[in-house]
């Protein structure tokens, strides 16, 4: 299946290699959820006994929980044409009222807000580049909450003035409302398997069936919000004879563009790599670490196998076209722990 939004650094392109390495594990953990590209690409033949995802971005966790619990409500809120004025107004609402509404995620593991989720999905599909819901835009709330003040416009760059985000006009400018079924799903009638796409409400747009299909897939997935390390403790990984852990942390800030994500820790990859080194010899754990070769290659032992690949070209602006990011896509690598290498002999790997 496919996520309902594009995500910088998503691993859908290489998800098949990840699953060939992990195999049909009893317990699967994805500490950096993002677009859940790997989880959604898990083979249907797997038992999917225990699955856990986590992210430090409250908006993301709210989206996955809301789709899981109230897919039609989420669809209703993201079913809206692309409009620049609405995009600006909803973004303002999300970074003020919206972020306050989802604060309950920290104290309630079952909490979700379908309106915040739907508007966030609608907006990220209309937004160009990074910065969606980062709170760093030209509007801010007064410290005393009395109102909203606009920041001074940026007057540099040859007098271009204020640069607001323009809506993404690709896909005929329809944002999340794509025509017909998304290419990741198979249209089917009442006899279609649960995880295949079909529209249970034929008089409504296809996005309703899309969200329902995602909800079906996520029904038993545990969606956690917080620091990545909480879901890879000994206790969290205790269930099952085999445990698959896919780690795709934000890449180091000195080897890629900074601030691509709302929650963007530029150094966390060091801690993640150390966790992998500390736990890599555990025969129960099948660990896959994603990153650039510049980040981890000199630190990873020879017992870890390598799968090198080139990522697809990410969204480019006039400023970054042909820059370092374009070259970095050829430095992508998956490091596979010894348990992966011995249990998945058929995987094609480059040493």
pLDDT tens readout for residues 89-122: 999 999 999 999 999 988 888 999 999 999 999 9
Q: What order of strands is seen across the sheet that includes strand 285-292? A: 222-225, 50-55, 27-30, 243-247, 285-292, 332-336, 305-309
Task: Please return the burial class of 264, using the count of CB atoms within 10 Å of its CB with bins 0-12, 13-18 and 19+.
Answer: middle
At residue 244, the pLDDT reads 97
161 has pLDDT over 70: no
DSSP 8-state code for residue 172? G
Q: How many CA atoms lie within 13 A of 61 on its CB side?
A: 29
133 or 211: which leads in pLDDT? 211
pTM, entire model: 0.77
- On whether both 90 and 16 belong to a single domain, the answer is no
220 or 155: which leads in pLDDT? 220
- On whether both 96 and 176 belong to a single domain, the answer is yes
Q: Which of 290, 332, 335, 326 is nearest to 310 (CA)?
A: 332
Phi and psi at 119, nearest 5°, equal -70, -35
At residue 223, the pLDDT reads 95
Q: Which of 334, 349, 343 is nearest to 246 (CA)?
A: 334
67 has pLDDT over 70: yes
The whole-number average pLDDT for the span 303-321 is 68
Q: Which domain holds residue 257?
A: 1-56+226-351
Domain total of the chain = 2
- Residue 339, domain CATH: 3.40.50.150
275 or 348: which leads in pLDDT? 275
49 has pLDDT over 80: yes
Tell which of 190, 219, 248 closes a domain: 219
3-state helix, strand, coil in the chain (%, to 5): 35, 15, 55
Tell which of 161, 195, 219 closes a domain: 219
153 has pLDDT over 80: no
Spatial separation of the C-alpha atoms in residues 175 and 121, rounded to whole Å: 9
At residue 175, the pLDDT reads 56
- On whether both 127 and 63 belong to a single domain, the answer is yes
Tell which of 219, 243, 278 closes a domain: 219
Among residues of the chain, what percentage have pLDDT more than 90?
48
Q: How far is CA 313 from CA 142, 321, 326, in A?
A: 40, 10, 7
Is-contact 27 241, C-beta < 8 A?
no
- On whether both 62 and 52 belong to a single domain, the answer is no
Q: Which of 31, 66, 28 is nearest to 50 (CA)?
A: 28
- On whether both 88 and 111 belong to a single domain, the answer is yes
Among residues of the chain, what percentage have pLDDT more than 70?
67
The whole-number average pLDDT for the span 249-269 is 59
Spatial separation of the C-alpha atoms in residues 200 and 149, rounded to whole Å: 44
Taken as a whole, the chain contains a residue count of 351
176 has pLDDT over 80: no
222 or 178: which leads in pLDDT? 222
At residue 29, the pLDDT reads 97
- On whether both 49 and 142 belong to a single domain, the answer is no
314 or 189: which leads in pLDDT? 314
61 has pLDDT over 60: yes
9 or 346: which leads in pLDDT? 9
Q: Taking CA 125 as the corner, what is the angle to CA 119 and CA 129, rounded to the nearest 5 degrees? A: 115
31 has pLDDT over 90: yes
Q: Which long-range contacts (CB under 8 A, 24 or more apart) does 315-319 make?
A: 315/6, 315/8, 315/128, 315/129, 317/128, 317/129
Confidence at 136, pLDDT banded by 50, 70, 90: low
- On whether both 253 and 133 belong to a single domain, the answer is no
Q: How does the average pLDDT of the chain come out, rounded? A: 77
At residue 157, the pLDDT reads 37
- On whether both 268 and 184 belong to a single domain, the answer is no
The whole-number average pLDDT for the span 198-225 is 83
At residue 66, the pLDDT reads 97
What end-to-end distance do the CA atoms of the chain give, in Å?
A: 30
- On whether both 146 and 274 belong to a single domain, the answer is no
14 has pLDDT over 70: yes
- On whether both 206 and 306 belong to a single domain, the answer is no
Both tokens of 221, joined, read 């997935």
Is-contact 338 281, C-beta < 8 A?
yes
Quote the strand ranges of the chain, DSSP E: 27-30, 50-55, 139-141, 148-150, 222-225, 243-247, 285-292, 305-309, 332-336
- On whether both 303 and 330 belong to a single domain, the answer is yes
- On whether both 174 and 259 belong to a single domain, the answer is no
Give SS3 for 300: coil
Lowest mean pLDDT among 17-21, 260-264, 280-284: 260-264
Is-contact 292 332, C-beta < 8 A?
yes
């Amino acid at each position: 299946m496919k996520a309902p939004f594009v995500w910088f650094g998503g691993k859908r392109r290489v998800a098949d290699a990840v699953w060939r390495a992990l195999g049909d594990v009893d317990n699967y953990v994805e500490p950096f959820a993002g677009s859940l590209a790997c989880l959604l690409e898990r083979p249907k033949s797997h038992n999917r006994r225990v699955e856990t995802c986590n992210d430090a971005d409250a908006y993301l966790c709210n989206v996955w929980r809301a789709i899981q619990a109230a897919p039609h409500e989420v669809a209703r809120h993201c079913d809206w044409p692309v409009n620049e004025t609405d995009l600006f107004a909803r973004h303002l609402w999300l970074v003020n009222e919206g972020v306050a509404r989802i604060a309950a995620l920290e104290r309630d593991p079952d909490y979700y807000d379908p309106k915040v989720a739907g508007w966030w999905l609608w907006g990220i599909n209309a937004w160009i580049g990074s910065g969606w819901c980062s709170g760093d835009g030209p509007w801010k709330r007064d410290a005393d909450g009395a109102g909203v003040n606009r920041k001074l416009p940026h007057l540099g760059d040859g007098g271009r003035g204020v640069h607001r985000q323009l809506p993404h006009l690709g896909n005929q400018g329809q944002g999340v409302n794509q025509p017909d079924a998304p290419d990741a799903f198979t249209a089917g009638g009442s006899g279609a398997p649960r995880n295949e796409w079909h529209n249970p409400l034929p008089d409504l747009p296809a996005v309703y069936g899309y969200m329902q299909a995602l909800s079906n897939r996520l029904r038993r997935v545990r969606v956690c919000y917080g620091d990545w390390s909480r879901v890879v403790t000994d206790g969290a990984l205790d269930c099952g004879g085999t445990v698959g852990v896919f780690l795709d942390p934000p890449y180091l800030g000195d080897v890629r563009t900074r601030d691509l994500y709302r929650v963007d820790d530029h150094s966390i990859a060091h801690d993640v790599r150390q966790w992998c080194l500390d736990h890599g010899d555990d025969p129960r754990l099948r660990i896959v670490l994603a990153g650039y070769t510049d980040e981890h290659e000199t630190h990873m032992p020879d017992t870890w196998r390598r799968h090198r690949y080139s990522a697809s070209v990410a969204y480019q602006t006039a400023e970054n076209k042909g820059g370092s990011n374009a070259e970095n896509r050829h430095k992508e690598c998956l490091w596979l722990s010894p348990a992966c290498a011995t249990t998945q002999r058929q995987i094609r790997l480059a040493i």
